[in-house]
Each structure stands twice: as structure tokens, then as C-alpha cells.
């Protein structure tokens, strides 16, 4: 690898961090032993800011660029969020109904309309009696479901040594 910028993060297909690099697993680091890296990261990813700071923890996370794209939410560097599963609640659904279509009069013909066969008078109760109706019941199990995008697991590593990046 060419000499990296200090704090540079790369994706690698192997299962270890080479010399001068660390896995992005949220490790707590000593400020006194990593002053230049602390100058870049601060406590953005954790630590007490007096004697320790943390490396980014990208285990089980998708990396996002900070800022706000058109029509999108604003994300700050170091912010974490999201969930692997969610439970769909009725409050997540748009308002809707399941109307039944019934005539309020008795049948007047023995000829079906709209492809339906007529029911003989009194089939569902005595003529001129009402048929009690009940609303539909809620259904579903209420269990969480997976919301993760398809993925391939690789390792994120961060440079512990390298060129200190200039801001210009």
C-alpha cells in the first residue's frame, strides 16, 4: 500500500489490520501515544478526551458521508443510527377502511346482476330481518422483520501512521 493519510479508512478483503493500521472496531486509544491521530479524530467516536479517544466502530454498520443531500436528512460525522429490524405498527400504515357492500332492501328479482347468483328470500334470516355485521379483526404477528440491504462483509481499517493531512 502507498503511504496513507493518517486517519484514512480503507476497505480490505483480508481478516487482519496490517502494521500501522487498526480495524475500525471502536477501540479506545491512548491520546499520549497517538497525539497526531487524536488531533484529527478528537472524541468524535468516543473516549473521554483527557487520556483516551476511540476509533470509529464500523462493525455491522454502513458508512455514510456527512451532510445533507437534496431532499435527504442531515447526518453529522460520528453520528450513529439505524436498526437491523423493525416492527410494523398500525400507526405506520396509511388510514384505510375495508368497507362491505350491502343493500338495505330485500331482494326484488330472481335474476342475478354483475355475475352474482341471487339468494332465495330468507336465506340469511327471516325476511325483513337485519343481519348483524362485525368489523374485520386485526391480523399479523407483530414480530420484527429484517430491513437490511443485501451485504458482503469486508474489514474497514484505519491508518494509525501516515502523512498528516493538510486542510488546504
Whether residue 165 is contained in a domain is answered as: yes
Determine if the pTM surpasses 0.85: no
Query: What's residue 110's pLDDT?
Result: 57
Whether residue 83 is contained in a domain is answered as: no
Whether residue 4 is contained in a domain is answered as: yes
- The strand ranges marked E within the chain are 9-12, 21-23, 28-30, 52-54, 67-68, 74-75, 85-86, 145-146, 155-159
Angle subtended at Cα 80 by Cα 78 and Cα 83, rounded to the nearest 5 degrees: 165
Chunked into runs of 10 residues, the chain (168 residues) has average pLDDT values of 92 98 98 98 98 98 94 95 89 79 59 60 57 68 87 97 94
Whether residue 120 is contained in a domain is answered as: no
With beta carbons less than 8 A apart as the criterion, state whether 5 and 162 touch. yes
Whether residue 35 is contained in a domain is answered as: yes
Whether residue 20 is contained in a domain is answered as: yes
Whether residue 70 is contained in a domain is answered as: no
What one-character-per-residue DSSP string does 67-105 give?
Answer: EE-TTS-EE-TT-----SEE---GGGSPP--------SS
Q: Which domain holds residue 43?
A: 1-60+153-168
Query: What's residue 114's pLDDT?
Result: 60
Query: What's residue 93's pLDDT?
Result: 83
CATH of the domain at 13: 3.90.1340
Amino acid at each position: 500500500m502507498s503511504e496513507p493519510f493518517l486517519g484514512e479508512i480503507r476497505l480490505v478483503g483480508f481478516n487482519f489490520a496490517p502494521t500501522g493500521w487498526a480495524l475500525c472496531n471502536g477501540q479506545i486509544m491512548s491520546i499520549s501515544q497517538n497525539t497526531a491521530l487524536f488531533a484529527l479524530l478528537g472524541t468524535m467516536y468516543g473516549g473521554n478526551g483527557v487520556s483516551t479517544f476511540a476509533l470509529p466502530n464500523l462493525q455491522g454498520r454502513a458508512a455514510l458521508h456527512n451532510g445533507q443531500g437534496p431532499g435527504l436528512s442531515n447526518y453529522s460525522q460520528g453520528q450513529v443510527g439505524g436498526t437491523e429490524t423493525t416492527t410494523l405498527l398500525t400507526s405506520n400504515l396509511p388510514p384505510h377502511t375495508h368497507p362491505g357492500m350491502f343493500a338495505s332492501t330485500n331482494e326484488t328479482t330472481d335474476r342475478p346482476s354483475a355475475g352474482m347468483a341471487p339468494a332465495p328470500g330468507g336465506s340469511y334470516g327471516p325476511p325483513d330481518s337485519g343481519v348483524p355485521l362485525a368489523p374485520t379483526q386485526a391480523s399479523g404477528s407483530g414480530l420484527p422483520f429484517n430491513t437490511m440491504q443485501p451485504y458482503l462483509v469486508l474489514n474497514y481499517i484505519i491508518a494509525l501512521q501516515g502523512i498528516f493531512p493538510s486542510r488546504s
